[in-house]
Structure 1
């Protein structure tokens, strides 16, 4: 409680609201850019079953040496496993949302129309039986929650 009153003495209410707005936008951007917008590409990698051509390599360098190349088959298999783990992590985070937020995220980001395009917001909010303002407020809240849950999960270099 004391810390809160000290912070309020340092920052004005408007400054605190501005900081929180930027924080919220950071997590929304993280959820969209690092997770939801990559879903279809990484999901396809997780389902990939094609095995690259097998080529043996012989080296006199000890295993684990920086100059020794890993096999293409091993790299491909690891990439597929990482992609499946990535998708699983995303789904667990989505499943932790309340049912309405979960449905919103699934319709907006995890499903495509027959022509391959994503559904627009104008198509989704009537399906959820809610008004435009409530839809956009819920969408921001759901994205922020996802961003917070998924922030810190290692994604760089994992799959893409």
Structure 2
């Protein structure tokens, strides 16, 4: 028997649409909260060239698990991790459809001269689409980005 036919008999159309809407909202929120809202902070961390002061520490306790835990090392690791995080985001954005990619870049990855983000009313004319289509495309782009990032995040074993 066909699995899809069995499922359609178990759930109503409204229940299936509700599940799909909840799933879509999960990926949208995942992309915004875990990735796009942190973009500028992580980008700054990945580009920092300031090196903390280098001082020797003499201790009378034997070296344990913190033996290789210098401030310089910690700083370098944070910068590398931020760069990897940024590469992952840019890879996922680059794999979107061109219109989705442009929307994400304009809305979430660029700032105005005063440091604020562009509002939707400024972006959709730049994409040569109407307001309604813009919001549909934004939802689609965020969902697709969330799905891609969630998959990449799981594949690479980040935690």
Tell whether the structures are fold-level matches, with TM greater than 0.5: yes
Alignment of 1:134-149 (within 5 A): 134-149=133-148
Q: Secondary structure at the match of 1:22?
A: helix
Contact 1:27 1:148 in 2 (8 A): yes
2 CA distance for matches of 1:51 and 1:11? 58
Q: What is the CA–CA distance in structure 1 between the aligned matches of 2:21 and 2:139, rounded to whole Å?
A: 11
- In angstroms, what is the RMSD of aligned CA positions? 1.7
Query: Does the 8 A contact of 1:56 with 1:71 survive in 2?
Result: no
What is the aligned residue count? Answer: 154
What TM-score does the superposition give when structure 2 sets the normalisation length? 0.90
| CA-CA distance at 1:57 after TM superposition | 2.5
> 5+ unaligned residues in a row in structure 1: which ranges?
none
Q: Distance in 1 between matches of 2:23 and 2:141?
A: 14
Task: Name the CA distance, whole Å, in 2 between partners of 1:71 and 1:4.
Answer: 57
Cα deviation 1:66-86 (Å, max 9, x = unaligned): x55710000000000000111
Query: What residue in structure 1 maps to residue 43 of structure 2?
Result: 43
The structure where helix makes up a greater share of residues is: 2
Which residue pairs with 1:61 in the alignment?
62
What is the deviation of 1:155?
5.8
